[in-house]
Structure 1
Amino acid sequence: MQIVGVTTQQEVYIASKDRKFRINEIFLIEDETVASPMGEVVETFSYNRFIPMGFEQGMMDQGLRQALEQIGYDIGADDIHLAKLRLFEEAVHPIQTGAGVRPPVFDEVKHLLIRGEADSGLVLGEIRSTDHMHHTLPEAFDGLLEVLEHGEVRPQHGAPLLYDIQSMQQYPHIGIFGGSGSGKSFGMRVMLEELMKLDIPTLVFDPHFEMSFSDAAPSAGDVKDYSQAFTAVQVGQDVGVDFTALSTRDVERLLAAASPLSESMANVVQSLHKRKDSHASFADRISNTADALELGKHRVESVLTSNGEGLSKEEFERYDTYRKLLDQFGSLPPASVKGIQWRLGRLAQAGLFQHNIQAVENALYAGKLVVIQGSSWLLQVFASYVTSTLYNKRRTYRDAKLKGEAANFFPPFIVATDEAHNFAPKGMEAPSKPTLKEIAQEGRKYGAFLIMATQRPTLLDETITAQLNTKFVFRTVRGTDIQTIKEETDLTAEESQRLPYLRSGDAFVSSALFGRTIPTRIRMAHTTTPHVQNPFDELKEMKQAEDGAFLDVIRDYSPLSESDLMAKLSDINGRLGTSYTVNDLKDELERLEQQGKVKKQISPFASLYTVT
């Protein structure tokens, strides 16, 4: 292999007669005049005698063909393999044409590939096109992972992608971008498994109910048992909001998540909410105010001036409460008060105020991963409360420590979420967005970090996107998202063009930690999602189960005469829990007869059905 054609200080062409080049391979140029620089293959091309000489495409042009002939390549007979090599560092002058090229050994490129140690970092995958240096890998970096490729599990063949968790102090926050089916959620699962290995407290918002780590993957082998390393809770069933701890601004945000608030509704909350209100006291105040406004001051006063004639003591006291509320809040718009009442009722009906976050705090103290599940809108509401509460506790502790004051310890933690654009949308308000933006901008000083996964990076808040110092980019098809990724990463034009064609599980890792984009195959996950079953297989299994139950019942009446269907119909429906008509029952028997599960005998009087 050698340098051919015209060279520059940034790019060169390399040629070989017998070795095909691969995208992202690393090569060392044996040119001591420029300190033997290294570069990465960004474009490949093979030229052979079956290609017409007038054919020009990509890097092969007339000048390059002439250069190849001058240094001994037989264009008419040889297969010639070419690659464009982009240097990692600009050379002081153009590379010497004819200089030798060779693959490096691991020690020569370790500083480009490895950040951190295997026992203290996240083992996330295998760096692509590094298998040629596998035999030179130190034992500490070999055998760390397995890769699922083409449906088969294989051992590690190249250098591992290690993410140094300590580096988040300097390069905080991680973004995971990719379209549906690209391996984005799979990559996030692998990342969370690695965090559990290191006992890093992590808060995960899971709108799809898929982040369970109890079930080992079928081909996982002997791996860590993650079932004790995570806790799954549901909003409204296991965790909720301590209403007494909410400020008036917090209450506004929660209610706005249920449905946007108008300016007059926000004024209602500011007027009616009192410090240390419980949900019951606040709800009663709103309900009584709404009733009082509906009755009107004139009617309330007339009842009270008549000394509550015909009313019980409780009813009279209620009217007295109405009068006091009208004196204070009589100017509030009744429709706005009703709107707040409806929003509060919606949150209460979801169980949001029936619990607190003690279970979350206890799990984080224990170094566990906490998966918070619920509907998307309810998670957004709850996320605004739990993230701000936990972040304030961590911030209070760190500020007190810096001042030399005593404070209760609260551990550093990571917030991870899928569908991140719903929690922090660009150009729109969301309950959790202010806290997430604050963590993105200032969290590293206090030990709070983000992992934001989304199919639509274009829709994610730009302030947060800009603070994601490491980005895992999976297959992306939409042009606007590719443009956003190009603006927010150091992906080259060639790599951006490859984004729509990446295999599921392949990703470009653009990180300030590495200083370059690293192509990676994400390792095989050790656990599996509860949604692993194909929905069409599920449909088939369900139909088979229904057919089995139907045949078990019909077998007791077999042979079943067509003339007896009406007489047996009620009993059959009772045992099956169905509401068949005679025609429905006959259709089912005919369908199963066509499948060979029921035998039909035709007689002059009636057909007989027998279960085979």
Structure 2
Amino acid sequence: MQIVGVTTQHEVFVASKNHKFRMNEMLVIEDDSLYQPKGEVVETFSYNRYIPMGFDKGLADEQVLKTLEQIGYDIGADDIHLAKVRLFEEAVQPIQTGAAVRHPEFSEISSLLVKTSPENGLVLGEVKSTDFIAPSLPESLTGLLHIDDHNGLRKQNGVPFIFDIRAMQQYPHIGVFGGSGSGKSFGLRVMLEEIMKLQIPTLVFDPHFEMNFATEGEVPGTLAYRERYIVVQIGQDVGVDFSALSTRDVERLLSAAGSLTESMINVIQSIHKRKDSYQSFSDRVAHLAEALELGKQKVESLLHDGGMTRDEISRFSLFRKLLEQYGSLPLASVKGIQWRVNRLNQAGLFQQNIRAIEQGIHAGKLVVIQGAVWLLQVFSSYVIGALYGKRRTFRDAKLQQKQGEFFPPFIVVTDEAHNFAPKGFDAPAKSVLKEIAQEGRKYGVFLIFATQRPTLLDETITAQLNSKFVFRTVRGTDIQTIKEETDLTHDEGKRLPYLRSGDVFVSSAIMGRTMAVRIRYAHSASPHTLNPFDELKKMKEQDADQLMKALDSFLPLAEMSLMQQLSSLNKEAEKSWDVQTWKQELERLSSEGIIKKQKTPFATLYTRP
């Protein structure tokens, strides 16, 4: 391998007769005067005499061709492999044309590839095109992972990509971007497994009900995650302690159940009292709505007419008192608040508290919170605000040399992050997430945001994501956003729509450059891995097996006997079918070869095959 063509301080061209260059391959240029500069292949090209295409466009220009001929290449006969190599550091002078090029030893480029040990970082995958370096890897960096590649599962044969999570203190927050089927959710799963390995307290909002780590994958000798995470569902296991909410919290929660008008906000501010329970607040709203419907005049006349029971007198007296206090509030706004409160209560939001989450965070566990997207939006604003407030109070007390109750640092992880912090309009959790994005580093609270649509994510938050994992992305607007927010080159941006599932560009201030990585095989399996068409086939097979088991004692069965046997067949098969449905099912089973259909002069018989 040799340097050819015109060289600059930033880029050089390398040629070889027998080595086919690969994207992101690392090379060392043997130029002692420049301390053997190192670079990475950013574009490749091969020329073969049997396919004579012009060199006027692309990598090989006239200068490169002349150099190739001068150093002994036969343009007409040889297969010539070329690569454009971008230097990691700018050279003080252009590199000598004709200089030899070789693959590096690990010790020569270790500072560019590995920033921490496997014990202290997240082992997320394998740096692409580093198999040439594998023989010189130290033992501590070998055998750490498995990769799902073209030929199935294989052991690590390159340099592991280890994310230095401790460096998030200086370069906080992570963004995980990628379209549907790009491997984004799989990459997020691997990231969470590694966080569990280090026992870092983490809060995960899971709108897809897929972040469950109970099912082990194919990789042998995996860590047991069962004791390192808990899954809670909103309304069943966790909820909001209404009595702990401030008036502003109530506004935020109710706005997530449906947007609030200025008049509705005024109703909340007027009616909500400190330490209100859900019951006392909802009763006050309901009674006020009923009183406003009746009107002050009718309430007064009913009280003066007499003939009412003690309970009725008490009820209408309450109506009069409420009208005196809140009679100026519009009925439509009060009804709007009543509907929103009831909606949240019916979802179970006010029937539990967050004690299970707090205990999980204190125990260093991964706490997965599951629920519908709209409910997660409501709940996240409350729970993130509450936990961040506790962590902040502890840190502030420590800085003031006061005694405070310890609350551990933690990470907040959200999939479909653009739903929690959208660009251009408000959302319940957006304000607290923006605050964490800007100030969380000081308090030890960090964000990992995953989304298919980075363009729809709040720009303040996007700008604070110092490490970005970019999977396959097809939309032009999203690619443009990613290029603006990362150091991806024009050539890397062009590759984004064509990345394989599981391949990712990692643009991180921690690494100091963009790296191409293949995400490792996960130790656990997602509950959504079954192909829906396989699921359909499986269900049909199960139905056929169940029917055959029920039919077994009735075969051979004559079609004319169906009416006579109908109740017995339905009881055995646990169905409530009529004769016509049974005929259709018997026809289906016979067409699939599961049973045999015989036509005789007297009847149609269904028998075992």
TM-score by length of 1: 0.98
SS at match of 1:244: helix
> For residue 135 of structure 1, what is the aligned residue in structure 2?
135
Measured in 2, the distance between the counterparts of 1:525 and 1:192 equals: 10
Matched, 1:414 2:424: no
- Structure 1 residues 73-114: Cα deviation after superposition (integer angstroms, max 9, x where no partner): 111111111100111111111111111111111111011111
Contact 1:24 1:40 in 2 (8 A): yes
Q: What does 1:495-514 correspond to in 2, within 5 Å?
A: 495-514=492-511
Counterparts of 1:339-350 in structure 2, within 5 Å, are 339-350=336-347
Give the letter aligned to residue 227 of structure 1.
R
Higher mean displacement: 559-568 or 235-244: 559-568
Distance 2:161 2:437 in 1: 24
CA displacement at 1:556 relative to structure 2: 2.2
Aligned to 1:13: 13
Q: Does 1:463 align with 2:475?
A: no
Equivalent in 356, 361, 377 of residue 359 of structure 1: 356
Q: CA deviation at 1:312?
A: 1.3
Is the Cα–Cα contact under 8 Å of residues 55 and 62 in structure 2 kept in the other structure? no
Aligned to 2:297: 298
Equivalent in 319, 324, 330 of residue 322 of structure 1: 319
Task: Show the 5 A alignment for 1:597-612.
Answer: 597-612=594-609
Q: SS at the partner of 2:507?
A: strand
Letter aligned with residue 212 of structure 2: S
Unmatched segments (≥5 aa) in structure 2? none
Show the counterpart of 2:248: 249
| C-alpha RMSD over aligned residues | 1.2
1:563, 1:54 → 2: CA distance? 79
The Cα of 1:220 is off from its aligned counterpart by: 1.6
Q: Tell me, in whole angstroms, the C-alpha distance in 2 between the residues paired with 1:63 and 1:333.
A: 81
Moved more, 23-32 or 417-426: 23-32
**1:88 maps to which residue?**
88
- Native 8 Å contact 2:24 2:42 kept in 1: yes
- Whether the 8 Å CA contact 1:196–1:226 is kept in 2: the answer is yes
Residue identity in the other structure for 2:300:
E
Partner of 2:272: 273
Q: CA deviation at 1:16?
A: 0.9
| Greater Cα shift, 542-551 or 277-286 | 542-551
Contact 2:114 2:162 survives alignment (8 Å): yes
The residue number in structure 2 matching 1:550 is 547
SS in 2 for 1:359: helix
Are 1:205 and 2:205 an aligned pair? yes
Q: Distance in 2 between matches of 1:359 and 1:522?
A: 32
Kindly provide the amino acid, as one letter, of the partner of residue 56 in structure 1. Answer: D
Q: Which moved more, 1:313-322 or 1:581-590?
A: 581-590
- Structure 2 residue 65 is matched with structure 1 residue 65: yes
Corresponding residue for 1:148? 148
Query: What secondary structure does 1:40 align onto?
Result: strand
Per-residue CA distance 1:21-69 (angstroms, 9 max, x = gap): 1111111111122222111110011112123264533112233212211
Residue 287 of structure 2 is matched in structure 1 by: 288
1:446 is aligned to: 443
C-alpha distance in 2 between matches for 1:157 and 1:79: 28
| Of 392, 398, 402, the match for 2:399 | 402
What is the distance in 2 between the residues matched to 1:490 and 1:138? 30
Match of 2:430 among 426, 433, 448: 433
Instruction: Compute the displacement of 1:152 (Å).
Output: 1.6
Counterpart position of 1:97: 97
CA contact (8 A) 1:466 1:488 kept: yes
Q: Match of 1:224, as an amino acid? A: L
Partner of 2:35: 35
Q: Which residue of 2 aligns with 1:227?
A: 226
Amino acid at match of 1:252: E
Please give the secondary structure, in 2, of the residue aligned with 1:131: coil
The answer on whether the counterparts of 1:202 and 1:415 sit within 8 Å (CA) in structure 2 is yes
Which amino acid in 2 is paired with 1:159?
V
Residue 550 of structure 1 deviates from its aligned partner by 1.6
Partners in 2 of 1:547 and 1:445 — Cα distance?
61
Counterpart CA distance in 2 for 1:574 and 1:301 is: 64
Q: Separation in 1 of the partners of 2:54 and 2:103?
A: 33
| Alpha-carbon distance, 1:151 to partner | 5.4
| Structure 1 gaps, min length 5 | none
Q: Which secondary structure state, in structure 2, belongs to the residue aligned with residue 556 of structure 1?
A: helix
The one-character-per-residue Cα deviations of 1:335-381 (angstroms, maximum 9, x if unpaired) are 11111101000000011011100000001101000000011111111
Write out per-residue CA displacement over residues 556-598 of structure 1, whole angstroms, 9 at most, x where no aligned residue. 2222222122222233234434342322211211121122222
Specify the SS of the correspondent of 1:45. strand
State the alpha-carbon separation in 2 of the partners of residues 347 and 611 from structure 1. 56
Correspondence for 1:386: 383
Q: How much does 1:538 deviate?
A: 1.3
Corresponding residue SS for 1:85: strand
Deviation at 1:9, TM superposition (A): 1.1
Deviation at 1:317, TM superposition (A): 0.4
TM superposition shift of 1:285: 0.4
| d(CA) in 2 for partners of 1:604, 1:4 | 89
Please say if residues 472 and 507 of structure 1, whose CA atoms lie closer than 8 Å, have aligned partners that are also in contact: yes
Q: What is the total number of aligned residue pairs between the two structures? A: 609
Q: 1:319 and 1:441 mapped to 2: Cα distance?
A: 52
Percent identical pairs in the alignment equals: 64
Tell me, in whole angstroms, the C-alpha distance in 2 between the residues paired with 1:141 and 1:608. 69
Contact 1:233–1:371 (CA<8 Å) still a contact in 2? yes
8 Å contact kept, 2:176–2:449: yes
Taking the aligned partners of 2:282 and 2:455, their CA distance within structure 1 comes to 39
Contact 2:410 2:445 in 1 (8 A): yes
Structure-1 separation of matches of 2:548 and 2:23: 58
TM-score for both structures, normalised by structure 2: 0.98
Q: Distance in 2 between matches of 1:577 and 1:266?
A: 54
> Alignment partner of 1:204: what SS?
strand
Give the Cα–Cα distance (whole angstroms) in 2 for the partners of residues 329 and 195 of structure 1: 52
In 2, Cα distance between equivalents of 1:100 and 1:540: 59
- Separation in structure 2 between the aligned mates of residue 503 and residue 69 of structure 1, nearest angstrom: 37
**Structure 1 Cα separation of the partners of residues 325 and 131 of structure 2:** 76
Q: Distance in 2 between matches of 1:164 and 1:214?
A: 26
Distance across 2 between alignment mates of 1:32 and 1:339: 76
Report deviation, 1:196.
Answer: 0.6
2: CA distance, partners of 1:548 / 1:34:
74
Following the alignment from structure 1 to structure 2, what is the Cα–Cα distance between the partners of residues 38 and 313? 91
Q: Structure 1 stretches (4+) deviating beyond 6 angstroms?
A: none
- Give me the whole-angstrom Cα distance separating, in 2, the residues matched to 1:558 and 1:514: 71
Matching residue's letter, 1:590 = E
Secondary structure, in 3 states, of the residue corresponding to 1:580? coil
Shift of the alpha carbon at 1:255?
0.6
3-state DSSP class of the match of 1:182? coil
Q: Indicate conservation of the 8 Å contact 1:554/1:611, yes or no.
A: no
Q: 1:520 to 1:581 in 2, by over 3 A?
A: same
SS at match of 2:505: strand
Amino acid of the residue matched to residue 365 of structure 1? H
| Partner secondary structure for residue 132 of structure 1 | coil
Q: How many Å separate the matches in 2 of 1:305 and 1:384? A: 48
**Higher mean C-alpha displacement, 77-86 vs 395-404:** 77-86
1:109 aligns with 2:106: no
Q: Secondary structure at the match of 2:132?
A: helix
